[in-house]
Amino acid sequence: MSDMHIKISQANFDDGPALERAAFGRLEVSVGDKLLTLLRDRDEDSPNTKLSTGPFVSGYHLAEWFATHWWRLRWEPGGRYVNSSTYTWDLSHRMSSVGEGYIWPNITFNCDGHLCEVSSSTTEDPHTPIEYLGSDTTHVSANVWEDSVDCFVTNVLSRLEEANLHNTELHAIWHELSDERSDATLSAFRQTEALLGFDVDEGDEAHIEAVLGDAEVLGTDAVNELATGAGGNRTSASDVRNVSETAGFVANPEDGVLFSPSDLPDVSQWGQITAGRMGKLFARFVRHQVGLSDEPVNNQELAGLAGTSPCALENRETSGPIAWVFAPGDRQARIVLRSRWPTSRRFDMARIVGDRVFSMANCVSAEPLSPATSSYSYRQKAQRSFAAEFLCPWHAIEDDFEEGFDDTDIERVAAQFQVSERVVENVLDNNQTYG
Single out the residue of 253, 275, 69 nearest to residue 153, CA to CA: 69
**C-alpha span between 393 and 295 (Å, rounded):** 9
Tell me what pLDDT residue 48 has.
Answer: 61
pLDDT beyond 50 at 129? yes
**C-alpha span between 344 and 421 (Å, rounded):** 11
Over residues 25-37, mean pLDDT? 96
For 293, residues 6+ apart whose C-beta sits below 8 A from its C-beta are 287, 396
- List the chain domain ranges: 4-186, 247-434
Single out the residue of 308, 329, 298, 310 nearest to residue 256, CA to CA: 308
* Sheet with 135-141, side-by-side order of all strands: 107-111, 115-120, 135-141
**Could you report the per-residue pLDDT of 346-403, keeping only the tens digit for each?**
999 999 999 999 999 999 999 999 999 999 999 999 999 999 999 999 888 877 776 6
Q: At 46, is the pLDDT very low, low, confident or very high (cuts 50, 70, 90)?
A: low
Q: Residues in the chain, how many?
A: 435
Q: At 331, is the pLDDT very low, low, confident or very high (cuts 50, 70, 90)?
A: confident
What is the chain's mean pLDDT, rounded?
91
For 349, residues 6+ apart whose C-beta sits below 8 A from its C-beta are 302, 303, 306, 308, 312, 313, 323, 335, 337
Q: At 298, is the pLDDT very low, low, confident or very high (cuts 50, 70, 90)?
A: very high
**C-alpha span between 135 and 132 (Å, rounded):** 9
Single out the residue of 99, 174, 77 nearest to residue 374, CA to CA: 77
Q: At 82, is the pLDDT very low, low, confident or very high (cuts 50, 70, 90)?
A: very low
Beta strand pairing call for 56-58 and 130-132: unpaired
pTM of the model: 0.92
